């Protein structure tokens, strides 16, 4: 269709905006039901201990307490990944971090519930806590699960990197560390469960992944999924932190079943820090071989992930630390080794950028140093190693559209990077970095051949379009994307689309709002469904007019002949024509990503139907006496494929930049005495409005051939280049390398005073990785 787009590409007001600005949006904790009880969870005070016994009798005797649960009430293990079914809703034998759930109560109010928790007596035998990667792999380490603290070890090689390294004219190696941090959504997790007299369980929960919660409830409660209804409430921020299955969801459900009354559990802010699943602390070693003129010949990358007490998404996180190196650099030979260990900390998982911000920090600071050694500017080094559109990386990732070069040009020109970086006063500096991210994980979390996203449309004589989809809006604007795509295809207005989302009784499956997948996958499903509806409408209208089906277009709530727009019918009339012929007008659409995994074990993590690309220049203003770093200005370009709604895409980009700056400069999770040092909003430092820099956002459109209307992701990718760009800017400003995130003022001063002009790790631990899996490499890389 050469017709101009009416809705796609326009900065329209999203459908859920007015509910949000009026306070009408009902978040999970806003829900209340008659006879509702309040649930609270007792958590482990020890990082590592065996549970000897739990005495709940005093709690049960407290007036107002309706139920008390312990691990034996929910004995079936679960986990988000089928390979890591290692969690219990309430720990039975062992606790593995301070905050690990042990028991739960339901009471008539939260004061009584809290009092009851204090009356539960748990006898523990403490075990030596494992609080670091080094402790986890020590020969005599107490195992947290099973026999060893190695959760996952990976060793992959694509071509002979040793040989390529030997032949390289220039080789550099760096060791860097990225401290863990957390999502910190403003909304604390909450779940409300109701068990009906009909034996049906309903759970309202602030979740990014209601489908996975549905599956876990079925498994742990041993109920058929058809008797469980999961309704995801609008998420008051997610960022990956609500994409796992959480104890409080299962516990609320069980308490509702036990008491026959609705039970709500809302986590306190402190508990949100324990629920975690945030950014892994990762220690990394990167080694690159290049030609004298700066062309990469080989890379060897090693990462050590501090996983916390459970598996969570950790196996995927582990692979992600090595997956996307080659989507921004044409690397002909690549080795990747990774180790994830268990430690006695809250479990880590996916946070915005899942497993890739840490290696991106390593890569982009590494190449800044490489460029300097080679006498190249950092932009030129990137340009000499650009990936090509429509190519395969050496680790088999298929790149379709690629706007990386355009992104680089935008930020470099916009910031005057090349000229200004040489002429800034001491304390001021500019840094540059690039990145790439997936538009949805190419494989589902559990192995199956079914679609990843499904959409159903239903229309009747009233002329509205009911759109049903399992996707949940977490603030990223997914409701708008679905409505805009359907409205565009059907030629109706945005407000004609009535959305029902994320209700497992009503909506077809969407795997969830994670891995930047909703626009691409649910968007494609919505487009397919709308096209089917449009075909039905066109057929009926063509018969009625009469005219050729191919002669019809849908626009402005009418279906008309392309070149004789006065001939046609209203959209509502068209729907009535179809309804008259065969009843209610429905269609479904679905999206299954193409099978893209390479021919090796572990190839399931990394493939995506399309990759976004980003580039950033960050300006810093450093205080030479205190080491404080402020960011006055950021230039960020993002290859979005196509912006379905530019203002929403800008919002995702700006929010990503913000979150990246917090991580780069202040956010970190640290532990002392075996527990989280400061699980509070005051001491976990999240940047305020006063720290917001001026941002210049450039959207680069490459119209991806597989994305809906050419769109790719925006929610995560733009975070990635900002963190290393800050580090590179600090170097430009002060001549010091802070090879450790976050870049705090004490580290900056220390580096300025030290002869090495550096703060960062010296080495990586000695660990014997498994033998390398030597994967075949794609044809196009053979002989290169």
Partner 1 sequence: MPIADRVAVRLRVNGEEMAVMVAPYKTLLEVLREDLGLTGTKHGCELGECSTCGVLVDGRPYLSCLAMPLDLEGREITTVEGMAHGSDPDPLQVAFAELGAAQCGYCTPAMLLTARALLDRDPHPTRDAIKEALSGVLCRCTGYLKIFEAVELAASRGRRHG
Partner 2 sequence: MLRLPRLDYLRPRSIAEATELAAKNPGAMFIAGGTDLVPNLKRRQFDATALISLNVLPDTRRIEGDASRGVTIGAGATLDELAQHEALAGPFRALGQACGSVSTPQVRTMGTLGGNLLVDPRCNYYNQTYSWRKAVGFCLKKDGDICLVARSSPRCWAVSSSDSAPAALALNAEVTLQGMEGTRRLAAAALYRDDGIAYTTKRADEVITAVHLPASRGRMTSAYWKLRRRPAFDFPILGVAVAITWDEGAVRAARGALGAVGSHPVDITSFLAPLQGTRPTEDLITEVAQAADKPSRPLDNTDLSHYWRKRMTKVYIERALRDACGFEPLAGRLTAQVRGGAR
Q: Which of 268, 316, 243 shows the shortest CA–CA distance to 510? A: 243
Distance CA 7, CA 488 (A): 6
* Distance of alpha carbon 176 from the chain centroid: 23
476 binds partner 1 per the rule CB under 8 A: yes
23 binds partner 1 per the rule CB under 8 A: yes
The stretches of 169-302 forming alpha helices (DSSP H) are 210-221, 247-259, 269-275
**Shortest distance (Å) from residue 621 CB to partner 2:** 6
Chain positions 364 to 403 lying near partner 2, rule: CB under 8 A, are none
205 binds partner 2 per the rule CB under 8 A: no
State which residue, 468 or 743, has the beta carbon closest to partner 2.
Answer: 743
239 binds, among partner 2, partner 1, none (CB under 5 to 8 A by kind): partner 1
Are 453 and 469 contacting, i.e. CB atoms less than 8 angstroms apart?
A: yes
**Interacting residue with partner 1 among 330, 617, 657, 734 (CB under 8 A):** 657
**Interacting residue with partner 2 among 220, 265, 744, 781 (CB under 8 A):** 744
**Interacting residue with partner 1 among 8, 16, 364, 472 (CB under 8 A):** 16
26 binds partner 2 per the rule CB under 8 A: no
717 binds partner 1 per the rule CB under 8 A: no
**Shortest distance (Å) from residue 189 CB to partner 1:** 12
Distance CA 580, CA 121 (A): 68
685 binds, among partner 2, partner 1, none (CB under 5 to 8 A by kind): partner 2
Chain positions 40 to 79 lying near partner 2, rule: CB under 8 A, are 43, 45-46
**Shortest distance (Å) from residue 313 CB to partner 1:** 20
Phi-psi region of 541 (alpha: psi -120 to 50; beta: other; left: phi over 0): alpha
**Shortest distance (Å) from residue 696 CB to partner 1:** 11
**Interacting residue with partner 1 among 583, 688, 766, 779 (CB under 8 A):** 688
State which residue, 575 or 622, has the beta carbon closest to partner 2.
Answer: 622
Q: Tokens 């040009």 appear where?
A: 409
**Interacting residue with partner 2 among 631, 666, 726, 775 (CB under 8 A):** 666
34 binds partner 1 per the rule CB under 8 A: no
694 binds partner 2 per the rule CB under 8 A: no
767 binds, among partner 2, partner 1, none (CB under 5 to 8 A by kind): none
Contacts 24+ apart (CB under 8 A), 761-767: 761/175, 761/176, 761/177, 761/283, 762/175, 763/175, 764/175, 764/283, 764/284, 764/285, 764/302, 764/304, 765/133, 765/134, 765/137, 765/283, 765/304, 767/137, 767/304, 767/339
Positions of E strands within 127-205: 150-158, 170-178, 190-195, 201-205
Are 481 and 555 contacting, i.e. CB atoms less than 8 angstroms apart?
A: no
Distance CA 329, CA 341 (A): 29
Are 231 and 202 contacting, i.e. CB atoms less than 8 angstroms apart?
A: yes
627 binds partner 2 per the rule CB under 8 A: yes
State phi, psi for 502 to the nearest 5 degrees: 50, 50
Q: Which of 545, 480, 444, 463 shows the shortest CA–CA distance to 211? A: 444
State which residue, 58 or 295, has the beta carbon closest to partner 2.
Answer: 58
Distance CA 11, CA 773 (A): 48
690 binds partner 1 per the rule CB under 8 A: yes
Query: Order of strands across the sheet with 334-341?
Result: 740-741, 170-178, 282-290, 296-306, 334-341, 150-158, 773-775
State which residue, 96 or 354, has the beta carbon closest to partner 2.
Answer: 96
Chain residues in the site for partner 1 (CB under 8 A):
11, 13-14, 16-27, 29-30, 32, 183-188, 234-239, 268-269, 474-477, 647-648, 650-651, 654-659, 680-682, 686, 688-690, 692, 695
Chain residues in the site for partner 2 (CB under 8 A):
29, 43, 45-46, 98, 110-111, 266, 268-270, 425-427, 621-628, 630, 666, 673, 675, 677-680, 682-683, 685, 687-691, 744-746, 749
């Amino acid at each position: 269709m050469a017709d101009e787009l009416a809705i796609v590409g326009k900065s329209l007001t999203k459908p859920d905006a007015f509910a949000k600005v009026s306070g009408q949006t009902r978040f999970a904790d806003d829900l209340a039901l008659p006879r509702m009880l309040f649930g609270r969870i007792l958590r482990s005070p020890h990082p590592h201990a065996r549970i000897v016994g739990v005495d709940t009798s005093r709690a049960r005797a407290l007036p107002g307490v309706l139920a008390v649960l312990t691990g034996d009430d929910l004995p079936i293990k679960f986990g988000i990944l089928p390979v890591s079914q290692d969690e219990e809703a309430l720990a039975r034998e062992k606790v593995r971090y301070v905050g690990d759930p042990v028991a739960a109560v339901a009471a008539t109010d939260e004061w009584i519930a809290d009092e009851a928790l204090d009356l539960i007596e748990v006898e523990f035998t403490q075990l030596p806590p494992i609080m670091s990667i080094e402790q986890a792999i020590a020969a005599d380490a107490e195992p947290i699960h099973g026999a060893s603290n190695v959760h996952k070890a990976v060793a992959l090689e694509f071509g002979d990197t040793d040989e390529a390294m030997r032949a390289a004219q220039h080789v550099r190696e760096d060791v860097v560390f990225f401290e863990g941090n957390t999502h910190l959504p403003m909304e604390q997790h909450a779940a409300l469960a109701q068990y009906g007299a009909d034996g049906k369980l309903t759970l309202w929960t602030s979740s990014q992944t209601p489908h996975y919660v549905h599956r876990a409830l079925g498994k742990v409660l041993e109920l058929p999924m058809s008797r469980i209804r999961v309704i995801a409430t609008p998420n008051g921020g997610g960022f990956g932190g609500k994409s796992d299955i959480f104890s409080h969801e299962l516990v609320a459900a069980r308490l509702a079943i036990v008491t026959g009354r609705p039970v709500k559990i809302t986590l306190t802010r402190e508990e949100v820090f324990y629920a975690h699943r945030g950014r892994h602390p990762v220690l990394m070693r990167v080694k690159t071989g290049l030609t004298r003129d700066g062309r990469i010949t080989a890379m060897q990358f090693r990462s050590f992930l501090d996983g916390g007490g459970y598996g969570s998404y950790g196996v995927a996180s582990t692979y992600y630390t090595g997956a996307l190196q080659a989507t921004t650099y044409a690397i002909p030979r690549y080795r990747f080794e990774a180790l994830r260990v268990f430690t006695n900390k809250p479990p880590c998982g996916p946070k915005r950028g899942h497993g890739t911000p840490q290696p991106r920090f390593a890569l982009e600071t590494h190449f800044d140093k490489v460029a300097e050694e080679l006498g190249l500017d950092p932009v030129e080094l990137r340009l000499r190693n650009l990936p090509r559109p429509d190519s395969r990386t050496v680790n088999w990732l298929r790149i379709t559209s690629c706007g990386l070069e355009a992104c680089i040009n935008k930020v470099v020109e916009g910031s005057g990077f090349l000229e200004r970086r040489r002429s800034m006063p001491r304390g001021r500096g500019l840094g540059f970095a690039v990145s790439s991210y997936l538009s949805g994980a190419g494989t589902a979390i559990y192995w199956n051949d079914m679609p990843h996203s499904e959409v159903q449309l239903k229309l009747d004589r009233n002329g509205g379009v009911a759109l049903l989809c399992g996707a949940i809006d977490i603030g990223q604007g997914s409701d708008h994307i679905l409505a805009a795509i359907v409205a565009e295809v059907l030629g109706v207005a945005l407000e004609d689309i009535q959305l029902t989302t994320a209700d497992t009784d009503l909506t077809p499956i969407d795997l969830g709002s994670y891995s930047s997948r909703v626009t691409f996958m649910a968007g494609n499903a919505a487009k397919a469904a709308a096209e089917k509806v449009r075909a039905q409408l066109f057929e009926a209208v063509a018969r009625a007019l009469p005219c050729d089906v191919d002669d019809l277009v849908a626009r402005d709530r009418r279906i008309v002949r392309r070149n004789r727009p006065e001939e046609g019918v209203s959209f509502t009339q068209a729907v009535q024509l179809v309804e008259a012929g065969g009843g209610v007008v429905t269609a479904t659409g679905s999206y299954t990503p193409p099978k893209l995994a390479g021919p090796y074990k572990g190839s399931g993590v990394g493939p995506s139907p399309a990759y976004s690309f980003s580039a950033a220049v960050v300006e810093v203003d450093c205080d030479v006496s205190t080491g404080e770093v402020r960011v006055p200005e950021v230039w960020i370009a993002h290859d979005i494929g196509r912006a379905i709604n530019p203002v929403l895409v800008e919002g995702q980009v700006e929010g990503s930049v913000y979150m990246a700056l917090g991580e780069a400069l202040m956010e970190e999770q640290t532990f002392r005495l075996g527990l989280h040092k400061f699980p509070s909003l005051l001491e976990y430092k999240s940047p305020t409005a006063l720290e917001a820099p001026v941002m210049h956002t450039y959207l680069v459109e490459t119209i991806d051939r597989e994305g809906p209307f050419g769109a790719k992701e925006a929610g995560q990718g733009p975070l990635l280049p900002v963190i290393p760009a800050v580090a590179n800017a600090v170097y430009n400003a002060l001549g010091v390398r802070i090879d450790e995130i976050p870049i705090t003022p004490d580290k900056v001063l220390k580096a300025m005073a030290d002869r090495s002009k550096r703060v960062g790790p010296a080495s990586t631990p000695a660990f014997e990785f498994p033998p390398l899996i030597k994967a075949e490499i794609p044809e196009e890389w053979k002989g290169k």
